[in-house]
Each structure stands twice: as structure tokens, then as C-alpha cells.
Amino acid sequence: MPERVQITVAESAGFCPGVKNAIDKVLELAKQRKRTIYTLGPLIHNKQVIETLKEQNVRAVSSAAEIKERGAILVIRAHGIPPEEEAALRALDLEVVDATCPLVKHVQENIRVHARKGYATIIVGDRDHAEVLGLMGYTEGRGYVVDGPDQAKDLPGLEKANIVAQTTQEHAVFLAAAEEARRHCGELIISNTICNPTRQRQEETVQFAEKSDLVIVVGGKNSANTARLFQICERLAKKAVHIEKEDELRKSFFHGASTIFITAGASTPTWMIEKVLEKARRLAGGRESRLLEQLAFAWKLAITGSLYTALAAAALTYVCLKLEGAPVSGMPLSMAGLFALSLHMANRAAEKGAAAPDKAGRLLFVKHRAAARVTALLCGTLAILLSAALGWKVFLTAAFFWSLGMLYPHKLPPGLAKFGNFPASKDILTALGWAFMCAYAPGLWNGGALADSTQLAVFFAFLLVFTRSVMFGISHAHSDLIVGRENFYKAAGSGFTYFTLLVILLLLAFILLTLESMNWKPGLTAALLTGLLYYMGLMLFFFFRRIPERITAETLIDTQFLVLAALARFA
């Protein structure tokens, strides 16, 4: 085993935009309609993701005849279907939603335009692949499928033709097939319809595979683009393996490998790649300290088990007590920590499938999901009982926020169900609950709820926690977890999300400057202003660099509260 092992993960790995678009559509439908959503064939070629979608009440059918419900929702998957098949579906008593990848739509339209001008169509792709079957429907009966230059030799003589590529085709294969097809056509239009994400993925794979002792290709065995990546790697790397999940890795793969490259198909989520990376590190390292391995596992358990979140909530409460000029005691710190622990654990336990992708998360929330729910219930009950000691106003409001948070991942009461479908609703609800427990409740307890310092502390806490929740959402979205528009990042998009985070940073600074102008604890406010540099640095790190894997990202995000608490302590 080599002394030093370098493992590189492809920056282009993870869901492609077309896959993200299809998944977002079915999740939004499932959340809004609260009933089974059917897809015509598997939405994407990844068994693990399809299983996760089943838990979200999304079911794949091979034909509309399998659907017995009147007015059911049927989604056309990312690969698209022939136009005559789509027309037949829309004539049925079904609500048809088109989730065809926009880049596949572009190829369909390209073929349609040229076919109407009398051009035959040559498609370079896999004859039986769903995308190719859909594309053939636009050729007006003058379509030919070839898998490369060898099959292109058998093309008949064509007066004029348009050659296109299956969007996930290998670039070199398409160019070679087009060159061969030129010999059979009087006029040939070359439409290179390989999508940019595929081209980037293949170029990066070529670049690293040539320099790697071992390449691990992660993706469904029935995924055409994953199979092509593997074929490229087999040609270029010393050794290449194609796996669907980390359990297929063997220690023997890593013998003699000092440079390892991990890439994945367009339908492989980032959280699966992270699991492969974690196991690859363990198998390739060989000399890693058992103590370090145990410490790493304990830390993952603290993060996925919500213990670090509880500590972060207690730290924020400490900061708010300092800002309000209230005495620091264990009561509000414990109350806020238990409140956050309860709701975070309950939400984690309610998450489906891929929501807890790491080993520690599976241990706690899959094998012991029921125990996690009971623990969350007990911690929440204790938090509410502690709040009763602060007065009935605190008790009732705490009970309201806690009940709402516990119900959110399941089914809200009819009067609140519309709020659950509101974009960023989860981020807003989390920020409101934490702001009350960490800032307003201590203010009520100390009789200063109407004081300017308390009001500003509540606003300060709300903005900080909203930021935390949004950045969690960015991390989850970049890990390709199954999340919907209750996530601010998914609802608003990247550009507006980072603009919002910048505005919040400025508002946080304004609050602290306002307190300083009131001559309210100038040393403390100056220290907290310094603490905002951590927040700014973290935001820039997320914006300019690859988002770290989930455990690291969540650690970095919640650490901002501990940094602020430490600065408040020594101000």
C-alpha cells in the first residue's frame, strides 16, 4: 500500500441540471397535491434515488394503463417520449406534466425543424435508450440510429441528412460517426447536441483518468452516460471499476494505487459520491489511526444526532442574553438547547432515504428511527416544561413553535397547510422558533421584552438563524438530497440566495452598529462585529469554492454561533 494516497473527486460529478429539474418537479407536485405522483418509466437511471422517491410517494409505471385513478398525475421523465405517445397520453383522463430535460427538448426541436425541411435524421446513440426512442418520434419516419462509426458504415445513401447526438454521447464517437456518415450523404448537417454538462464531465474524466492508477466510476449499471464514462476510463486509466454504491468497493482495488480519481454519471447524487469517497479513504489509507477513525465517527454522530445543533442554540442564547444585558443562567441555555435538539432530531428522523447518507446518520435515523423520535419527543417535552418556569406566555409560545416544528415534516393542520407549501417556509419557521427561544423568551423572563436591546437581539437572532438554515439548504441541495421549495436556495436560485445572504450580513452589522450608537455594551458589540467576519468568510467560501461534504458543511455553519459566544464571553 503506498505511503501517500491522493484521492480526487470530479468537480463535475453529481446530478446534471436536467435530472435536478425533473426531481424538483415531481417533489413539488408531491408536496402540493398530497397524493401519488406517477412517472412514465423510472424518472432517472439510478435505483437508489428511485427508491428514495418512492418514499416521497412517487411511483414509476411502464404505461398509463397501470394507473387506475381518475385524473391522476403522470410525469414524462427526463429522457422524453415520442410526440405521438405524448399526444395519446394527453387525450386520456390524466394530468400530464412534462419533465423532459430542456437540453433533450432542444434536440427534439432540432430534429423536428430539419425533418420538416425533408432531411433524414441520423442519431448517434443507443438504439434502445429511452431518450433515443423519444427522439426517433420526431424524425417523421426518416430516422436512423447508429452507435458509432462502425454502424455508420451501413447507412444507405441519403440525399440530405441531419446528424445529432444522444445528449450523453461520447464526443469523439459522435465526431467519428459524423465523418463516416458524410460519405453516405449528399448534404450533411452536423448538429452536435451533446449537452455541455456531459461534455465537461467527459473532458474532466479524460484529464484525470490518464494520470490515475485507479478510477472509480459511480452510477447505475443501466445508465448510458455512466457506462460511457467507464469505457473512457477503461481505455485511459491503469485500472477502472464501475460501482453503484460504496458497498461494492474492495480493498484489493486499491493495491498499488497512489492516485485515485472518482467520477460519476449524471444521475448519481453527490451524497452517494461522498459515501464512496469516505469508504475509499478508509480502504486506501491502510495506516489510519483507529483512535482517529473512532473520533471521526463520534463527530459524525454528534452532527447527525443534532448534539452540535443543541450546543449552537445554547451558544446563540448566551450571545442574546449578553446583548440584552440579562443575567446568564443555565435555565434559558438548557431550554433553547433542548428545543433545538428536539426539533432537529425529529426532522432528521422524518427525512426520507438519502437525507441521512453517512454511516453515522444511518445508524441513528434508519436503524433506530423510532428511538430518535422518542428521544426528540422527550427532549421537546422537557424544553416546554422548563419554559413554564419562565411564565405562561413563554410556555404557550414555546409550545406553539415546538408543536408546529414537530408537525412540519409530516402534515400541518388545515389552517397552516398553505404555509407549508410557501417557498422557504421551513427556513422561516426555523428562524422564528429559534429567535423566540434564544432571544425573546429570555427577554420575557427578565421583564425586558419591550426593551430596544431585546427587540434588536430578537431580530439579530432571527437573521442569524435564517442564514444558518439557508446555508444548510445550500449544502443539502449541493449534496443532491431530496429537498423541495421549502428550501430557500431551491426556491430562489443561487444568485438571489447569495444576494440575500449579503443583505443579511449588512443588516446584522447595522443592528450591532445601532446598539453601539446607543452606547449599549460597546465592547460586546465590537466583538460581535468582528465575529461577523467568520460569517462573511463562510459565505464567500460557499460561493467561490466547491461546497464541502455534508458533515463538514454543517459543522462550519453551526460553528458561527460558538465563535460569537466565545467573543461575547471574552469581550
Please list, in sequence order, all residues whose beta carbon lies within 8 angstroms of the beta carbon of residue 548, skipping any fewer than 6 positions away: 475, 556
Mean pLDDT lowest among 6-20, 219-233, 418-432: 418-432
Helix locations, 153-268, DSSP H: 171-182, 196-209, 224-236
Q: What is the pLDDT of residue 362?
A: 42
If you ran DSSP here, which 8-state letter would residue 101 be given? -
- Domain topology for 104-194: Cobalt-precorrin-4 Transmethylase; domain 1 (3.40.1010)
Structural class in CATH, domain 6-13+198-288 = alpha beta
Question: Mind telling me the catalytic residues?
Answer: 131
Q: Which residues partner with 8 through β-bridges?
A: 261
Q: What is the pLDDT of residue 511?
A: 87
Q: Which three cell numbers stand for residue 293?
A: 477513525
How would residue 208 be classed by pLDDT, with cut points 50, 70 and 90?
Answer: very high
If you ran DSSP here, which 8-state letter would residue 237 be given? S
Give the right CATH number for 17-100 from 3.40.50.261, 1.10.3720.10, 3.40.50.11270, 1.10.150.530.
3.40.50.11270
pLDDT at 354 over 70: no
Three-state DSSP class for 293?
A: helix
Helix locations, 305-424, DSSP H: 307-324, 330-350, 359-365, 369-388, 392-407, 414-420
Mean pLDDT lowest among 37-46, 65-74, 543-552: 543-552
For 183-202, write each residue's pLDDT tens digit: 999 999 999 999 988 888 88
Q: What is the pLDDT of residue 406?
A: 82
Q: Going edge to edge, which strands form the sheet with 259-264?
A: 6-9, 259-264, 214-218, 240-243
Q: How far apart are CA 556 and CA 549, in angstroms?
A: 11
pLDDT at 473 over 70: yes
Q: How far apart are CA 441 and CA 399, in angstroms?
A: 12
Q: Are strands 214-218 and 240-243 parallel, antiparallel or unpaired?
A: parallel
Query: What would the mean pLDDT of 227-244 be, rounded to a whole number?
Result: 91
For 28-57, write each residue's pLDDT tens digit: 888 777 788 999 988 888 888 888 888 788
Query: What would the mean pLDDT of 518-538 be, rounded to a whole number?
Result: 89
Mean pLDDT lowest among 38-47, 195-204, 368-377, 423-432: 368-377
Q: What is the pLDDT of residue 142?
A: 95
Asked, colleague to colleague, whether 6-13+198-288 and 104-194 share their fold, the answer is: yes
Q: What is the pLDDT of residue 368?
A: 59
How would residue 357 be classed by pLDDT, with cut points 50, 70 and 90?
Answer: very low
Q: What is the pLDDT of residue 1?
A: 44
Q: Going edge to edge, which strands form the sheet with 158-165?
A: 143-146, 120-124, 158-165, 185-190
Query: What would the mean pLDDT of 454-474 be, rounded to a whole number?
Result: 90
pLDDT at 369 over 50: yes
CA torsion angle 250 255 260 262 (round to 10): -10
Query: What would the mean pLDDT of 254-258 be, rounded to a whole number?
Result: 89
pTM of the model: 0.73
For 402-415, write each residue's pLDDT tens digit: 888 887 766 555 55
How would residue 27 be classed by pLDDT, with cut points 50, 70 and 90?
Answer: confident
If you ran DSSP here, which 8-state letter would residue 65 be given? G
Q: What is the pLDDT of residue 178?
A: 96
Asked if residue 170 lies in contact with residue 231, where contact means CB atoms within 8 angstroms, the answer is: yes
Average pLDDT taken over every residue of the chain: 85
Residue ranges per structural domain of the chain:
6-13+198-288, 17-100, 104-194, 297-570
Q: What is the pLDDT of residue 405?
A: 82
Q: What is the pLDDT of residue 387?
A: 86
pLDDT at 356 over 50: no
